Amino acid sequence: MDIFFKLVIKLNYYYDDPTGFYRRREEKRKDIKRLGLLIGVAFLLYVVLQNIISLIAQFTGLLDKYWTDSIYQSAIDTVIIIISLLVPFYFMGKRMKKISRVEEPLSLDKPVKIKEFLVATVAGVGVCMLANIVTSYLTLLMEAFSVHPEAPEIAMPTGIKGVTITIVRVIICAAMAEEISMRGYVMGNLRSYGDKFAILMSSVMFAAMHGNLVQAPFALIAGFAIGYFSIKTGSIWTGIAIHALNNGISVAITYAAEYLSETTTNLLSVALIYGLILLGGVALVAFIAMTKDKRLTDNCPELSLKEKCGAFVLNPAMLITFAYMIFLTILNIKIG
């Protein structure tokens, strides 16, 4: 009976709503749901555009060359990254902006303080190196139970042309396209409803878009760090720098393995990764001290984090997106 009376009182308060609290609460819930729908549509368009480009390549006979010429494959992958990611998020971004009422969710202005930017970049790269180790251990744990996650192989052509196109594709284009989409359009618009919520959801989406358990855990951890440092420095260039340097280190290690022995490559990799983790830890402590007056804000206290996440995810486009990404992840797992 007590529960019944409390419910009646709450319903009466909702309809009377003298302070407008419940009205604001429902409006913000609807806005988050609409943003989730638009972001889900952008992700579905991202998948559709990838498949359309693949079909065009197949019907025009370009697919054969794609699988036999690594430089050509890298060039096509660069085009796919740019078109499939930036085009949907650019068009959906205009609609997102109207809902979130953010004047400029995509901040490509230089960081306010260059020193903070540099320290944040070093700290972010350190977190990424730590994320690589965590991901490696998770992979080993899964393999111990005969679960073998796989990730799509990335062409790494050699020679001056090959190295150049790899740098353009992996270090420049991938870093910029993914950061502009994830931290710019997604996180930038969601910040209207809380920084922690924006970092969490953009990181989850960033992990999901990879569609495999080799890259997804890393992307989730790295996403938290990149989102945090981008917000604290006030610029998406921080995220781009961290992302680009992380990719650059991976590319450098991969090419080193082509010219050095396996033992030498492993020793250099371990020394580099753990050295960057140590340096990143020092930088993180320094960054926290430098930015102690800058706090993550919550512009939507009317809703809890759980309620915001529920409103964001529970819409048709987002549910289809996650279902597809889970399906893709399952396809990239071998059992036994």
> Which has more confidence, 23 or 210?
210
Enumerate residues 6+ apart whose C-beta is below 8 A from 160.
Answer: none
pLDDT exceeds cutoff 60 at 10: no
Mean pLDDT, range 113-129, rounded to an integer: 95
Instruction: Record the pTM.
Output: 0.90
> Which has more confidence, 140 or 21?
140
**What does the pLDDT read at residue 318?**
93
- What percentage of residues in the chain have a pLDDT greater than 90? 57
SS (H, E, C) 258-288: HHCCHHHHHHHHHHHHHHHHHHHHHHHHHHH
What's the CA gap between 115 and 179, in Å, rounded? 21
Of residues 328, 316, 311, the one with CA closest to residue 47: 328
Mean pLDDT, range 295-312, rounded to an integer: 90
What's the CA gap between 335 and 293, in Å, rounded? 50
- Condensed to tens digits (0 to 9), the pLDDT of residues 90-106 reads 999 889 988 988 776 66
Q: For 184, what's the count of Cα atoms within 13 Å in the CB-facing half-sphere?
A: 23
> Which has more confidence, 10 or 177?
177
Mean pLDDT, range 311-324, rounded to an integer: 93
**What does the pLDDT read at residue 133?**
94
- Greatest pairwise CA separation for the chain in angstroms: 77
Read off the tokens for 95. 């609609």
Mean pLDDT, range 271-290, rounded to an integer: 96
- Condensed to tens digits (0 to 9), the pLDDT of residues 246-265 reads 999 999 998 888 888 888 88
pLDDT exceeds cutoff 90 at 23: no
- Over the chain, what is the mean pLDDT? 87
- Condensed to tens digits (0 to 9), the pLDDT of residues 204-234 reads 999 999 989 989 999 999 999 999 999 999 8
- What percentage of residues in the chain have a pLDDT greater than 70? 91
**What does the pLDDT read at residue 1?**
46
